[in-house]
Amino acid sequence: MIKYIRNIIFLSLFLTLQNIFSQQYYFKNYTGEDGLSQHSANVIIQDSDGYLWVGTQNGLNRFNGRKFQIFSIEDGLENDYINDIAQDSSGTIWIATNNGVSRWDDPGFTNFNDLAGLANENVLKLIVDMNGFLWCSTLSGLYRKNENTFKKYSFQDRIPETRINNLFFDNNDNLWIATSNGLYVNNNNLFSDSLISPADMLNVLSIVQDNSNRFWLGLKNQIRVYKNGHLIRTFEKDDHINGPVNHLFISDNDIVWAATNYGVVMINGEKTDLIYEKQGLPLNTVLTVTEDNDKVIWLGGYGGVTKFQSRAFVNFNTRDGLGANQIRPIARRKGGKLWVGTTGGLNSFDGEEWKLFTEQDGLLNSKVNCLFLDPSNILWIGTENGLNYYDGTKLRVAHDISLREPIRYLDQYMDNIIIVCQDAVYSYNRFSNDLDKIEVPGNSLINARTLGDRKGNLWISGTAGLSVFNGITWKTYTVKEGLATNYPYFICEDFYGAIWFGYHSSHGLTRFKNGNFKTYVTKDGLTSNAVYSLGTDFDNNLWIGTARGVDKFDGNNFKNYNTSDGYASYESNSGGFFLDYDSTIWFGTGNGLSHYYPSFDIDNKSPPVIKINYTQLGDSVYTRNSSIQVKHDQKDFYAFIECLTYINEERIEFKYRLLGYSDRWKKFKDRVIQVSNLPPGTYTLEVKAKKYLGNWSKPERTKFIIEPPYWKTWWFRVLSFLLISTILFGIYNQRVRSIKRQNEKLELQVKERTKEVIKGKRETDNILNNVEEGLFLINPDYSIGTHYSKSLESILEKNNIACENFVATIQENIHKEDASTIMDFLDIMFMDDVEEEMTSTLSPLSKIKFHFPRQNSNEAINKFLSFKFKRIQNEAGNTEELISTVSDITNQIHLEKQLAETEEHQKKQMDWLFSILHVEPEMLSDFIDGVKRELATIDMSLSIPDDEIDISSTLQILYRSMHMIKGNAALLDLHFFVKEAHEFEDLISKIQKKQELVVSDLSPLHEKRNTMMEVLNEVNALIEKIGNLTNNFRPKKNLTNDQLIDSINKMVYSFSIESGKKVSFEYSKFDSKQIPPNYRIFIKEVLIQFVKTHLLMDLRIMMSKRHMENRLMEKLKYHLA
């Protein structure tokens, strides 16, 4: 009891003296809740197949990564207290128990105890030598198995008959025996004591040899290291060895693992680290350590079996002294302290202790958004309420920078510090204390991020794109140049000068290289499109913190790390990336700080070991390597797969194919394959697996046969054939005699019917060869009947179309979209429940255009055909065929079109006639002459040579002429001519809107001028036809006073708008009735020119007067009398 109390006091003191911080590792623990037989794991090994075997104090366990299979006394074990497990070169598993040795014979056990020569049945350790002999250590000596008996070694062999704690073969295949009374070695079947003199009589608990041929001995309270027989190092209390060393193990990376009662000690060179409860280890006492094929460390002890899930990440949180678990900025100068910003203050870490700074220490706000170490080793701290700095002695407020607002980001460009606020970005010169706001033309810098690249450019993200400053000018890249959106976020530069950046929203990751943008999203391998942090390591790997952990991109593949890999959180935090000088990386997450050690990152892409554990056909289950042949009714197949890898198990991919059923590989999940309703046959199942980002394994195979039913066997078919042949032969003979009699009778009937058929066919052929319409039958499969009229081939311009698909026959001559409509119509015609008359009215073939190209010519002809359909029904009223007629209605269609055009032309001329008859002949004649003059002007303007023409001036001349024509036509209510002139004006306006004018732009005006000339000629012809009929129509239209005044008033108003002057027009004393009607158009034109001239002259006079310069608006007044 006193010893027990002393140990507890010592342990408490030891834990008190440990470093104040306790970094967190990621472990996965397996206990009884996971299927382990008992919580005390004495030994763990991995066999040659990849299974993990765990010996506990209450049963033997085999683990496949998902499930424990338990073996106990009920399964044949002599005793279920398991001390050790070993495997020999043949693959046989040996188990040391408290009651002898057991051999697993799959599925049973063979036990060896005192009857086999084991005087002491409490077997502690097992080991197999290179010759296949099994050695056993017990409480009272050493044994070796020969055949089915065990030989004991005694004092006569220079081996003490005492407790033997451990057995070990060195690099020269010498057997070392660690006993409670010293260390012994067997060399060439000769035993001797070694390393430790007999006088020491130390209780050696464990022994290993490293790659440098050094021997490590685990003792009660220390580890001794020997080389060439000399003690060269001792690890004791100061090295965390504070109790018995239960087991020693050297992993593949030469780290020595010491299992103790207070945790496990990692010895890496001269550095020792104790991993115990505060680092997350769920075992309070560690009894065994091993490493699997994937370099994963497994620990066993009191508390179950623990998988050291990831040594690559070490995590810190508030329990270690951090101000909060929300971590963002991280900074450190080589050899200096690590600085970490949290939402609960600023932390520093010297490798031993975490220190927290809050508002009580001078921090403006405990929410730290960003950190920056300047070249003077001054730490700048951006908080939610302004800027602090730490000069090495205390926190101070940056009074020279009067920014009492959230500081979002800090960076350096040239000799200046870049300060990013919520709505602005500033450049601060720490020597002159100048604070200048950075403005980017066309971009808004809200919550921006910056980067000064190695070429001296400054990159800034904004809400309107990504901007870059080359020292002289700004350039902004947007979605037009290749960005995913115009709101980029964090920016970084890799070793090759490529610029990488994410976005405020979930749009992935974009790279800018050699002037080109490329965006990566989840379909390219990125785990999440929400990118929160970016950085590169010394191998130029890009690290992307996302909403689903952190991704590493090597330029080809993305590799994701999350909590299953030891990462602190499922989500990274904004800006939480820092590459340390020793190539390790710090990550800020939403649940603490992660420290990544690349040397411990297991990147084993070798294919995993895959096993077809057992299969099931119907209700029968078959173990691996069984010969499987089942009855035909056992046709539902299941295969249960084991994948013996223990790293990233949830990301393992599987695929299979069942040869004999399908050659195609198919992926599956949950490690179960199911194929139902398999027909009889011989099958081979092939299964593959691959690790996350790894290579596919070689296929694991199993074969099985499903027998056919007896009625499908060859012997049954032969017997059936003979029996049926005999029966048929008898029936045949009887039938032949009966048929012979009937044939004689039928020959006469056939001759008579043949004559009738020949006559009927001759009549049918005469009809089909002489009918003018195409006549044919359509079957339900759209095929054309064997008989059709000769005219059908002529109309469709195709020969030998019997039995051809009707739709396919005409498809190349009609629009593609009509083909599917025609098939739908024919389907409806074969539907007896749809009324035939209504369906016929919806026929798309009642009038359809056919296009027939001509050989050896680019020309083609068009035909219009009309098809009519009628159902042919059988006696039961079911439609069996459709009879169709087709006519060429091309001439009819053309005649209808000509009649419509003639009618339209006559209607147009009637409209013109009524408009002309209401106009005075003199006015009409003047109007026509005026149009001819203006069209001649237009023609002259358009005829100027291309190298002399001024297109802009020409368009103004054309517009004035056409405007004159339109105005005169409107005064005479000649609306058809107003329409033509208006269209001409629209063409001019459309051309004038072009940025660059070329002569070819005037081509449409030539055509429109010719059209108007044709209209004018038609009007002239129409006037000549009607002669003097105009005199018989009243009332005649004339240029009224209101129309004349309105024309001048519109011109004045237009001038007022263009010149910005107020112009009034007084015309109350003017009376156009005094002007003879035949002169009114001429007078109108003269008055318009007169008023326009005076307006321009008065405007020039007013602009020349200096005393009018300050007036905003001049007034002009004109009287017309």
Identify which of 549, 597, 20, 588 has the alpha carbon closest to the alpha carbon of residue 340: 588
CA-to-CA distance for 623 and 127, rounded, in angstroms? 30
Give yes or no for a contact between 573 and 613, defined as CB atoms under 8 angstroms apart.
Answer: no
Q: Is the pLDDT of residue 1010 over 80?
A: yes
CA-to-CA distance for 421 and 532, rounded, in angstroms? 18
Q: What is the pLDDT of residue 935?
A: 83
CA 721, 722, 727, 730 torsion: positive or negative? Answer: positive
Q: Is the pLDDT of residue 257 over 50?
A: yes
Identify which of 510, 502, 469, 484 has the alpha carbon closest to the alpha carbon of residue 576: 502
Q: Is the pLDDT of residue 817 over 50?
A: yes
Q: What is the pLDDT of residue 666?
A: 96
Strands 628-630 and 700-706: parallel
Residue type, position 109, single letter: F
Give yes or no for a contact between 461 and 504, defined as CB atoms under 8 angstroms apart.
Answer: no
Identify which of 549, 431, 553, 559 has the alpha carbon closest to the alpha carbon of residue 494: 553
Q: Which two tokens stand for residue 150?
A: 């065990």
Angle, helices 1041-1059/1080-1104, rounded to nearest 10 degrees: 20
Q: What digits encode the pLDDT tens for the residues 854-905?
A: 776 677 788 888 888 888 888 888 888 888 888 888 888 888 788 777 777 7
Q: Which of 2-16, 266-280, 773-787 has the lowest mean pLDDT?
A: 2-16
Helix (H) or strand (E) holding 70: strand 68-71
User: How many other β-carbons are positioned within 10 Å of the β-carbon of residue 84?
Assistant: 23
Question: Is 609 in a helix, a strand, or coil?
Answer: coil
Q: Which residue has the higher pLDDT, 383 or 403?
A: 383
Residue type, position 849, single letter: K
| No. of helices (H) and no. of strands (E), the chain | 13, 70
Q: Which two tokens stand for residue 683?
A: 């099958």
Q: Which two tokens stand for residue 182?
A: 């010293």
Q: Quick one: pLDDT band at residue 712, thresholds 50, 70, 90? A: confident
Q: Quick one: pLDDT band at residue 1031, thresholds 50, 70, 90? A: very low
Task: Please name the residues in contact with 1117: beta carbons below 8 A apart, sequence gap of 6 or more.
Answer: 1063, 1064, 1066
Q: What is the pLDDT of residue 974?
A: 78
Mean pLDDT of 494-506: 94
Q: Is the pLDDT of residue 20 over 50?
A: no
Q: Which residue has the higher pLDDT, 510 or 4?
A: 510
Mean pLDDT of 1009-1024: 80
Q: What is the pLDDT of residue 13?
A: 34
CA-to-CA distance for 600 and 975, rounded, in angstroms? 91
Token match 């032309």: residue?
905
Residue type, position 103, single letter: R
Q: Quick one: pLDDT band at residue 763, thresholds 50, 70, 90? A: low
Q: Is the pLDDT of residue 223 over 50?
A: yes
Q: Which residue has the higher pLDDT, 235 or 1016?
A: 235
Q: Which residue has the higher pLDDT, 820 or 323?
A: 323
Q: What digits encode the pLDDT tens for the residues 119-151?
A: 778 999 999 999 999 999 999 889 999 888 899
Strands 1115-1119 and 1062-1066: parallel
Q: Quick one: pLDDT band at residue 1030, thresholds 50, 70, 90? A: very low
Give yes or no for a contact between 438 and 406, defined as CB atoms under 8 angstroms apart.
Answer: no
CA-to-CA distance for 379 and 373, rounded, in angstroms? 4
Q: Is the pLDDT of residue 773 over 70?
A: yes
Q: Is the pLDDT of residue 366 over 80?
A: yes
What are the CA-CA distances from residue 119 to residues 102, 143, 151 (Å)?
15, 9, 10
Q: Which residue has the higher pLDDT, 439 or 731?
A: 439
Question: Within 13 Å and on the Cβ side, how many CA atoms surround 832?
Answer: 9
Helix (H) or strand (E) holding 26: strand 24-30
Task: Please name the residues in contact with 199: beta carbons below 8 A apart, sequence gap of 6 or more.
Answer: none
Q: What digits encode the pLDDT tens for the residues 585-622?
A: 999 999 999 999 998 888 788 899 999 999 999 989 99
Residue type, position 721, single letter: F
Give yes or no for a contact between 1022 and 916, defined as CB atoms under 8 angstroms apart.
Answer: yes
Q: What is the pLDDT of residue 1063?
A: 65
Question: Is 923 in a helix, a strand, or coil?
Answer: helix
Task: Please name the residues in contact with 1037: beta carbons below 8 A apart, sequence gap of 6 or more.
Answer: 918, 919, 920, 923, 972, 973
Q: What digits encode the pLDDT tens for the residues 1047-1093?
A: 666 666 655 655 556 666 666 666 666 666 555 555 665 566 566 56
As a three-state string, the secondary structure of 510-526 is: EEEECCEEEEECHHHCC
Identify which of 392, 364, 311 has the alpha carbon closest to the alpha carbon of residue 597: 311
Q: Is the pLDDT of residue 767 over 80?
A: no
CA-to-CA distance for 277 and 555, rounded, in angstroms? 39
Chain mean position to CA 206 = 53
Task: Please name the residues in contact with 769: beta carbons below 8 A apart, sequence gap of 6 or more.
Answer: 789, 790
CA-to-CA distance for 28 and 310, rounded, in angstroms? 9
Q: Is the pLDDT of residue 667 over 70?
A: yes
Q: Which residue has the higher pLDDT, 1034 or 101?
A: 101
Q: What is the pLDDT of residue 538?
A: 95
Eight-class DSSP state of 709:
P
* Pure H helices in 570-713: none
Q: What digits encode the pLDDT tens for the residues 738-760?
A: 878 787 777 777 667 766 656 55
Q: What is the pLDDT of residue 801?
A: 85
Identify which of 1119, 1120, 1118, 1040 has the alpha carbon closest to the alpha carbon of residue 1072: 1040
CA-to-CA distance for 379 and 341, rounded, in angstroms? 12
Question: Within 13 Å and on the Cβ side, how many CA atoms surround 1027?
Answer: 1
Mean pLDDT of 512-539: 96
Q: Which two tokens stand for residue 912?
A: 């013109």
As a three-state string, the secondary structure of 558-599 is: EEEECHHHCCCCCEEEEEEEEECCCCCEEEEECCEEEEECHH
Q: Is the pLDDT of residue 4 over 60?
A: no
CA 753, 758, 759, 760 torsion: positive or negative? Answer: positive
Q: Is the pLDDT of residue 539 over 90?
A: yes
User: How many other β-carbons are positioned within 10 Å of the β-carbon of residue 762?
Assistant: 9
Q: What digits encode the pLDDT tens for the residues 968-1001?
A: 877 777 777 788 888 888 888 888 888 888 878 8
CA-to-CA distance for 141 and 162, rounded, in angstroms? 5
Identify which of 596, 552, 562 has the alpha carbon closest to the alpha carbon of residue 578: 596
Task: Please name the residues in contact with 612: beta carbons below 8 A apart, sequence gap of 6 or more.
Answer: 624, 639, 640, 641, 642, 685, 687, 700, 701, 702
Q: Is 219 exposed, middle or buried (0-12, 13-18, 19+ CB in 10 A)?
A: buried
Q: Is 293 exposed, middle or buried (0-12, 13-18, 19+ CB in 10 A)?
A: middle
Q: What is the pLDDT of residue 545?
A: 96
CA-to-CA distance for 563 and 591, rounded, in angstroms? 10
CA-to-CA distance for 425 and 427, rounded, in angstroms? 7
Q: What is the pLDDT of residue 943?
A: 82
Identify which of 792, 808, 778, 768 has the alpha carbon closest to the alpha carbon of residue 871: 778
Give yes or no for a contact between 306 and 299, defined as CB atoms under 8 angstroms apart.
Answer: yes
Q: What is the pLDDT of residue 80?
A: 95
Q: What is the pLDDT of residue 1109?
A: 44
Q: Is the pLDDT of residue 1035 over 80?
A: no
Q: Which two tokens stand for residue 185?
A: 């070695």
Q: Which two tokens stand for residue 559?
A: 């590799």
* Greatest alpha-carbon span in the chain: 159
Q: Quick one: pLDDT band at residue 518, thresholds 50, 70, 90? A: very high
Averaged pLDDT of the chain: 85
